[in-house]
Amino acid sequence: MSNKKYKVLKAILLILAILTTPHLLDAAIPPTSVYLGSITDGLNAPQNIAIDDGGNIYVTQSASNNIIVYTRTGIKKGIISIPSPISININGGSLYVGSKNGFVGIYDLNGNLIKKVWEADPNFHRPVSIATE
């Protein structure tokens, strides 16, 4: 095979490899993003945040006993009353919330308790982070 044919074949194989490997193409396309300005409406002592599949932003405030919900563009959407929330995670449409006294619960997106995961315990308090599978 001549050197010229070899180079053409090599170029074709490289192009085919790129076209059949989608993650390489994704890396070449920059992600789209939306600028989110400063969120201050309703906040006085924010502690933790989580973002749901729809892009809504949930901010815990234990001093106010609530979680404030904002749209993906930062507009205040609502308030969920939960005692002393300090940590939050969202998974499968449920809020996993840790409270200052050590209580950990699973809530629906309206703040209704679905399940107690951990009772308040003097040896386990202030769960600062929650992870789910």
Question: What are the distances in angstroms from CA 51 to CA 17, 54, 56, 86, 102?
Answer: 36, 8, 6, 15, 22
Output the average pLDDT for the chain: 79
91: left (phi over 0), alpha (psi -120 to 50) or beta: beta
Point out the residues of the chain with pLDDT beneath 70.
1-2, 5-8, 11, 13-38, 120-122, 124-125, 128
Domain 48-118 has CATH 2.40.10.480: yes
- pLDDT for the residue numbered 127: 72
Which amino acid would we find at residue 60?
Answer: T
Q: Do β-strands 76-81 and 85-91 pair in parallel, antiparallel, or remain unpaired?
A: unpaired
pLDDT of residue 80: 93
Model pLDDT, residue 28: 57
Q: What pLDDT does 42 receive?
A: 76
pLDDT in tens, 96-128: 998 888 888 999 988 999 998 877 666 766 776
Q: Residue type for 24, please? A: L
d(CA 14, CA 92): 40
Q: Where are the chain's structural domains?
A: 1-32, 48-118
Q: Please list the residues that pair with 90 across neighbouring strands.
A: 95
